[in-house]
Amino acid sequence: MAATKKKTANKKTAVKKAAKKKVVAKKTVAVKETSAKSPAKKSAAKKPAPNAKMTTAKVAARKPVSKTRAVKTVVKKKATPAKKSAAKKPAPKAKTTTTKVAARKPVGKAGTAKPVVKKKAGKAAPAETSRAKRTKRVTAIAPAPPKAVIPHVDAVRAVIKKLESPKSVVPVKKEEMPVDESRYRPDAIEKKWQEKWEADKLYRSAVDESRPKHYALTMLPYPSGDLHIGHWYAMTPSDARARFMRMKGFNVLFPMGFDAFGLPAENAAIKDGIHPMKRTYANIERMRLQMRSMGAMFDWEREAATCDPEYYRWTQWFFIKLYKMGLAYRKMAAVDWCPNCNTTLAREQVWGDDRHCERCGTPVIKKDLEQWFFRTTRYADELLNFDGIDWPERVKTLQTNWIGRSEGAEVQFPAIGNQSSAADDKVTVFTTRPDTLWGATFMVFSPEHPLVDKVTTDAQRAEVEAYKAQAARQSDIEREAADKEKTGVFTGGYAINPVNGERIPIWIADYVLMSYGTGAIMAVPAHDERDFAFAKKYGLPIIEVIRPETQNAGEDGKELEEAYDGAGVMVNSGPFNGTEVNEEKGRKNPGIRAVIDWLEQKGIGKESVNYRYRDWLISRQRYWGAPIPMVYCETHGWNPVPEDQLPVELPEDVEWRPTGESPLKLHPTWKNTACPVCGGPATRETDTMDTFMCSSWYHLRYLSPHYDKGPFDEKEYNYWMPVDTYTGGIEHATMHLLYTRFFHKAMRDGGVTEGNEPMLQLRNQGMVLGEDNDKMSKSKGNVIAPDLLVRRYGADTVRAYIMFFARWDLGGPWDSQGIEGTARWIRRVWTLFTDPTPPKAGAAYDGRGLRRRVHQTLRRVTHDFENFEFNTVVSSLMELLNEMHKAREAGAAGSSAWDEAREIYLKMMAPVAPFITEELWARLGKPYSIHQQKWPQVDEAAAREDVIEIPVQVNGKVRDRIVVAADAGEEEVKSAALASDHVQKFLEGREPKKVIVVKGKMVSVVA
């Protein structure tokens, strides 16, 4: 998601060099391979895992080394799960051109060979020379057979997809099992099972009307090129939850994709000239490999990347839909502009009191530009309604505050300037406190207010102009800063307070912004802190109109020391004197209600609602985004591109010049097109869309990523939607999470989606901090690299530790000592299941006790999975493991309780550590796969404690503890309590007046 898209690493030169060398190395390898036998080795050599890059490069550098040796080295060093899929790569049939590969698209499903691809392949013939140059870089991304010409990035993409296609996986061979069967070897186990799962399509999720569905969605990453621990922290517990739901009997969809448009790739292109498309697809490829090492149950056949033309065709289609619904419009507006990113920003992307760019931290400036907006405000009220969705309170509060609905009234103040004609002008003011209208003693305009010139008198003009000029030089930040001293100047003009006919002076002040309400406020210094400070500074009148009820009449006329905004009664307010005012907002407040009714009756004003929320600015002056599919004709204005001409594709041959205008605008021909109305010459919109538009609907594209008759296949939609569980970061509360709700509701009204909400349940994870308790960042050197951890401990341990070390919703600092503990636990699990050591002689094993512990743990773990409490899932499993080791030492092996315990243990652990549990399950001789097993049922009888101890009070003091059967009834417990000698002693022979039994907790005897 965009907010996590902070600057990507830029190891350009090193990578480029390595890549170049790699090409050589690979060619060598490819030749060798044609005669090689093992498909596994072949794949490894052909497609070195990212971390093998340097090795490969080195091999290439030591050129004279024999071919055979080169192959060996690469194979040995390969560290991530091998891609069997690579075996099917075009290399062996060296003659196959990539163009053909692209045409017979790999994903295999009917209808996946997109016209896009076909078109590309056909178009590819000309312009060989310019493309030949690019071929080198492309080759670095996905090695091509010698001599093959890669005519277009689509072809690269097709090759990449092919490499990833689970279909081309060759089944696991037994001989590849590690030699030493008794040792825990995560590297061997994880690779083996990952390949088998893919070959078997274990995680393929298809519509199945006979089973309940569960759509589990985790936010899609931006393809920065490197999966960091934050991704693991978001994704692996989400995966564990999805696996749990699957074992609970749901047909689970857990897809993954890439939020692939955006600035980092484009900024990098400006620096090093590598095309964002190539970089992005290379990064996607690398991240897919890293994600596979997680062992997550992603259904890769549903993968979608927002930068694919077959994806953004529909992003554009949705834009046009919104346009036709009147929800997309173009207007000239003062928009926020990041001078560093060289683009406009949505209001949501401007952060903090200093109004900085969400992405790069640069303070934003205002620019007047014609831009495209989505009318999100039309849904403001509906977006405030969270009925029927289970979302965290924090997110609901953030969204509510962001929308900032306030109830009040709009009141019209006639204005009088130096010319009498100005009296015709009415200034509209929004106030949440119409009950204080009688205390409005002056009015303040934003310096940019259109009436300023008109009301300013000649005497004041010079001063007003000077003030306006200084205000224009300041940023909104400076103007609004709370600690800044309020300044302003009198315009010489007046307004008439419509409630009492008083002439009140009009001032301008920079703390009033045009973007606030109407750009003009009525100032009530007695009851507003800021107005109070302003009035004090400039000697303006302060009239009290709400008096606290506690205040004596004798204090009347006493000068106020500060503004009062509490409850009281209205005073100095004409017909409303004595009316009660409480602290409620809007009509719930009797004072406000009375005044609104009166204003409406008099025709001076009306009830009104104001929102802080603004329409969504979606134009971006950048290249790497979905082109806005609109065309401008001198005669016919703006019109959408006809649907059959979608997608409007990005041209490849653009120049990267950070000019502040879209590179599309600088392209010599791209923008020239025909008007959809008259066919005459017309110009394309050269801005692209905010990437949040792409991510507003990705959950729909996952349903049928290659479908070409619409944005999604309705059959899939009807089965899978809405999303049942959505997981991701809370930083998206007022951006993505609000946009996607708007999008769904707008499309519901457009007849595309159904229901009111796209995501029923939302859970946010916290953040993993560095060991120094600081946010991880490259500059601080506190970044934890998941790939290294996986190599050292195995993915299962990393997954388990991520779930164990902190409450998932809170997050916390990483602890390298801590992960050792988790690694130990995993190894002890391995030992428990594989150690052949016989039990100690003469040990007494308690089968009932073991079953009780197992089923009690199962009850807890089930509850904790349901509630996203992963840390206690792991700790419960750790505790149970100790019990099981004891039971084993005591001779439990061979008993039915022991068999049951082992089986339940692995099933409970399976969502946390999918690899080791699959391996041990197989070693137990159980049917493949553990991940297709049903979640075990708690045997309540087994879980029940046999006996319990309960305290007995006599007249409020504990006098004894009795031991009763855990399931004993009230009468039984009562008589046991009364039978106690101690209790009898304190009863002193009396009959108890009352005996209260709190089940399982306590008996209270009242003597």
Of the candidate residues 341, 346, 508, 520, the single one contacting Zn ion (CB under 5 A): 341
Confirm or reject binding of residue 360 to Zn ion (CB under 5 A): yes
Q: Which stretch binds Zn ion (CB under 5 A): 123-131, 254-262, 351-359, 434-442?
A: 351-359
Cα–Cα distance, 219 to 202 (Å, whole number):
22
Choice between 191 and 355, CB closer to Zn ion: 355
Peptide bond into 182 cis (omega under 30): no
**Residue partners of 176: CB distance under 8 A and separation at least 6:** 40, 188, 192
Segment near Zn ion (CB under 5 A), from 184-192, 559-567, 629-637, 700-708? 629-637
- Identify which range of 202-210, 359-367, 874-882, 952-960 contacts Zn ion by CB under 5 A: 359-367
Q: Toward Zn ion, which CB reaches closer, 362 or 470?
A: 362
Query: Partners of 965 in the beta sheet?
Result: 947
SS3 at position 167? helix
For the bound state, the minimum distance from the C-beta of residue 688 to Zn ion, rounded and expressed in Å, comes to 16
Q: How far is the CB of 231 from Zn ion (least distance, A)?
A: 23
Report the site for Zn ion in 68-97 (rule: CB under 5 A). Answer: none
Residue 575 or 637: the one with the smaller Cβ distance to Zn ion is 637
Site membership for Zn ion, residue 952 (CB under 5 A): no
Q: How far is the CB of 636 from Zn ion (least distance, A)?
A: 4
Choose, by CB under 5 A, the member of 678, 788, 958, 979 that binds Zn ion.
Answer: 678
SS3 content of the chain, % helix, strand, coil (to 5): 45, 15, 40
Question: 135-150 burial, b if ≥16 CB within 10 A, otherwise e?
Answer: bebbbbbbbbbeebeb
Is 931 in contact with 914 (CB distance < 8 Å)? yes
Contacts of 5 (CB under 8 A, 6+ apart): 222, 224, 259, 262, 263, 264, 359
Give which of 333, 354, 539 is closest to 441, Cα–Cα.
539
**Which region, judged by CB under 5 A, interacts with Zn ion, from 135-143, 241-249, 628-636, 825-833?**
628-636
Minimum CB–partner distance for residue 724 and Zn ion (Å): 36
**Distance (Å, whole) CA 23 – CA 25:** 5
Question: φ and ψ at 811, to 5 degrees?
Answer: 75, -175
* Window contacting Zn ion (CB under 5 A); options: 4-12, 47-55, 162-170, 678-686: 678-686
Q: Which of 54, 360 has the CB closer to Zn ion?
A: 360
Distances (CA, A) of 361 to 5, 9, 323, 364, 729: 13, 17, 32, 9, 20
Q: How far is the CB of 337 from Zn ion (least distance, A)?
A: 9
Size of the site for Zn ion (CB under 5 A): 14
340 makes contact with Zn ion (CB under 5 A): yes
Instruction: Identify the sign of the CA torsion 372, 721, 233, 9.
Output: negative
Return the residue of 333, 675, 803, 1003 that touches Zn ion, per CB under 5 A. Answer: 675
Taking contact as CB under 5 A, which single stretch among the options 222-230, 475-483, 673-681, 963-971 is the one that binds Zn ion? 673-681
Closest CA to 517 of 402, 405, 400: 405
Q: How far is the CB of 868 from Zn ion (least distance, A)?
A: 34
- Which stretch in 102-110, 232-240, 327-335, 634-642 sits in contact with Zn ion by CB under 5 A? 634-642
DSSP 326-370: T-EEEEEEEEEEETTTTEEE-GGGEETTTTEETTT-PBPEEEEEE
Q: Which stretch binds Zn ion (CB under 5 A): 47-55, 88-96, 292-300, 339-347?
A: 339-347
Q: How many C-beta atoms surround the C-beta of residue 361 within 10 A?
A: 13
Minimum CB distance to Zn ion smaller for 469 or for 678: 678
| Closer residue to Zn ion in complex, CB, 690/796 | 690
Which of 159, 350, 633, 962 contacts Zn ion by CB under 5 A? 633
5 touches Zn ion (CB under 5 A): no
268-287: which residues touch Zn ion (CB under 5 A)? none
Angle between helices 229-247 and 786-793 (to 10 degrees): 60
Nearest approach, Cβ of residue 360 and Zn ion (Å): 3
Q: Which residues of 322-332 are buried (b: 16+ CB within 10 A; e: fewer)?
A: bbeeebbebee
Comparing CB distances to Zn ion, the nearer of 341 and 892 is 341
Among residues 601, 635, 779, 817, the one that binds Zn ion under rule CB under 5 A? 635
The continuous run of DSSP H or E covering 3 comes out as none
Q: Which of 282, 327, 357, 738 binds Zn ion (CB under 5 A)?
A: 357
Do 320 and 641 touch, CB atoms closer than 8 A? yes
Query: Looking at 62-70, 216-224, 680-688, 915-923, which segment touches Zn ion (CB under 5 A)?
Result: 680-688
CB of 679 to Zn ion, least distance (A): 7
* Piece of the chain touching Zn ion by CB under 5 A; list 196-204, 242-250, 335-343, 936-944: 335-343
Does residue 364 touch Zn ion according to CB under 5 A?
A: no
Element (H, E) at 997: strand 994-998
Helix spans in 184-295 (H): 186-200, 229-247, 263-272, 276-292
- Report the nearest approach of Zn ion to the CB of residue 674 (Å): 8
Contact 616, 117 (CB under 8 A): no
Q: Which residue has the tokens 């290399």?
A: 91
Least Å distance between CB 723 and Zn ion?
A: 31
**Nearer to Zn ion (CB atom), residue 254 or residue 337:** 337
Min separation Cβ 651 and Zn ion, Å: 23
Tokens at 901, concatenated? 């315990």
Q: In this structure, are residues 901 and 942 in contact, taking their beta carbons and an 8 Å threshold?
A: no
Strand locations in 588-699 (E): 605-610, 616-617, 619-620, 630-633, 637-640, 672-674, 681-684, 688-689
Residue from 9, 677, 810, 996 that binds Zn ion (CB under 5 A)?
A: 677
| Least distance between Zn ion and beta carbon 764 (Å) | 25
Stretch that binds Zn ion, among 350-358, 421-429, 753-761, 927-935 (CB under 5 A): 350-358
Please report the DSSP string for 846-914 in residue order.
-HHHHHHHHHHHHHHHHHHHHTT-HHHHHHHHHHHHHHHHHHHHTT-TTSHHHHHHHHHHHHHHTTT-H
Interface residue with Zn ion among 241, 359, 622, 763 (CB under 5 A) is 359
Q: Of the two residues 635 and 779, which places its CB atom closer to Zn ion in the complex?
A: 635
Starting at the edge strand found earlier in the chain, the sheet holding 630-633 runs 637-640, 630-633, 681-684, 672-674
- Tell whether residue 779 is a contact of Zn ion (CB under 5 A): no
Structure-derived torsion over alpha carbons of residues 806, 810, 813, 815, reported in degrees to the nearest 10:
10
Q: Which residues between 402 and 441 bind Zn ion (CB under 5 A)?
A: none
Q: CB of residue 9 vs Zn ion: minimum separation in angstroms? A: 18
Q: For residues 110 and 906, what is the distance between their CA atoms, to the nearest angstrom?
A: 38
Q: Which is nearer to Zn ion, 119 or 367 (CB)?
A: 367
- Write down the least CB distance from residue 234 to Zn ion, Å: 24
Cβ nearer to Zn ion, comparing 541 with 681: 681
Is 140 or 341 the residue whose CB approaches Zn ion more closely? Answer: 341
Which of these ranges, 315-323, 447-455, 461-469, 677-685, lies near Zn ion under the rule CB under 5 A? 677-685
Scanning residues 636 to 665, which ones bind Zn ion (CB under 5 A)? 636
Which residue shows structure tokens 């173009």? Answer: 330
Near Zn ion in 849-908, by CB under 5 A: none
Among the listed ranges 341-349, 533-541, 605-613, 693-701, the one in contact with Zn ion (CB under 5 A) is 341-349
Instruction: In angstroms, give the least distance from the CB of 656 to Zn ion.
Output: 17
Q: Are 885 and 837 in contact (CB under 8 A)?
A: no
**Cα dihedral across residues 537, 538, 539, 545: positive or negative:** negative
Q: Are the C-beta atoms of 509 and 491 separated by less than 8 Å?
A: no
Q: Is 338 in the site for Zn ion (CB under 5 A)?
A: yes
Q: Which residues bind Zn ion (CB under 5 A)?
A: 338, 340-341, 357, 359-360, 362, 633, 635-636, 675, 677-678, 680
